[in-house]
Each structure stands twice: as C-alpha cells, then as structure tokens.
C-alpha cells in the first residue's frame, strides 16, 4: 500500500506548464544527446548480424543486459561538457529573453 506523501516527509510541487525547460535544462540538452547516442548504439547492434543469436523458432534474441549497459556507458561518455553547459545557458537566456519581453510590454502599456 502506498504511503501518504505527508507521512514520508515529501512535498508535492506542481510545475506549471512551460516551465520545464527553465527548471530542468538537462531534460532538453543532455537527455536528447544521450538518447540520440543510445539509439545509435542500438541501431548499430541491430544492423550487425554477426552479434545476434536466434531462438530455435528463428526469432532474434534481445540484446543482453551487459550489451545494453555498455551502450549506456558509451552514450553517457559521448555527452560533452559543452552540451551540459549549453543546456544551462539556453535556459538562462530564455529567462532573460522573456523578462525583456515582459519589461517591453509593461513599458508599452504605460
């Protein structure tokens, strides 16, 4: 049975729509890069017929857990520090841009 969040000292926060890119910049930059690299690893595995094993019925077996873990390591190492920095930079710049627009709108209404 799930415990009530207040019983485990958890605080529930609702993030308003449109704020994810500002509050979680890594979701935009790092996750996208990581997923692209991971997909490339999977595609390479799919296209490399020499590494596949098959069931007696002829169906290709899934990648092993060890193979998938190797893909994750390779994909994570492919995410550059510059990619992480750009994620934060983009989130900060978007905040500045929106503040500028808000200030312009306030000045226009005066």
Residues of the chain with pLDDT under 50: 100-107, 109-110
Distance CA 45, CA 59 (A): 15
CA distances from 84 to 28, 97, 98 (A): 10, 20, 22
Cβ-in-10-Å burial (0-12, 13-18, 19+) of 99 comes to: exposed
The 10s digit of each residue's pLDDT in 23-37 is 777 877 888 899 999
Q: Give the pLDDT of residue 52.
A: 82
Q: Give the pLDDT of residue 24.
A: 79
Q: Give the pLDDT of residue 105.
A: 47
Q: Is the pTM of this model over 0.85?
A: no
Distance CA 58, CA 47 (A): 17
Q: Give the pLDDT of residue 44.
A: 93
């Amino acid at each position: 049975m799930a415990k009530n969040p207040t019983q485990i000292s958890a605080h529930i926060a609702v993030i308003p729509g449109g704020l994810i890119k500002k509050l979680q910049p890594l979701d935009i930059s790092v996750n996208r890069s990581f997923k692209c690299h991971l997909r490339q690893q999977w595609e390479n595995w799919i296209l490399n017929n020499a590494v596949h094993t098959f069931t007696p019925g002829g169906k290709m077996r899934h990648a092993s857990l060890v193979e998938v873990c190797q893909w994750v390591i390779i994909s994570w190492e492919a995410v550059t520090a510059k990619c992480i920095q750009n994620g934060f930079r983009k989130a900060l710049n978007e905040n500045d841009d929106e503040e500028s627009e808000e200030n312009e709108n306030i000045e226009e209404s005066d």
